[in-house]
Amino acid sequence: MGWRAWDAYDQEAKARWRALPRRERYSWRGLIALALIVALAVAIVWALTATHSHAQSAKLADSEITERIIQESRNAYYATGHPCACPYDRARNGSSCGRRSAYSRPGGAEPKCYPKDVSKAEIDSYRRNYR
């Protein structure tokens, strides 16, 4: 048999398969079992990730929370469209911000740039709010 004969055979097989009622086309028990297995796997993965992230947030050290508070403070300043929140940042032209930074200038915005800028009360507040 050449390829044309097989093609004709395939067309006839497809036509016979399409003529069957849906109940007879598929093994519904197999499909239901597959759907239950997939749903169970998704539920297990979801439960593990939720437990892991909750345990991870409960175990955050003060230094990690301090870094997060500093990053959030800097991001809030950058959202205003200004590039120099901290002295160690770079300006748009590539130079170091240094004394031109908001941190170094009196008045106005006061972003947190160093761990010494974050108080224990802020760390405790972060821990309470993001648990």
> HSE on the CB side for 68, CA within 13 Å?
14
81-130 per-position pLDDT tens digit:
989 999 999 999 999 999 999 999 988 789 999 999 999 999 999 888 87
pTM, entire model = 0.54
| Alpha-carbon distances, residue 63 vs 22, 26, 68, 114 (angstroms) | 61, 58, 9, 11
Q: Which of 88, 109, 108 is CA-nearest to residue 97?
A: 88
pLDDT beyond 70 at 1 = no
Whole-number pLDDT of residue 14: 83
Q: In DSSP terms, which residues pair with 96 in a beta bridge?
A: 90
39: Cβ contacts below 8 Å, ≥ 6 apart: none
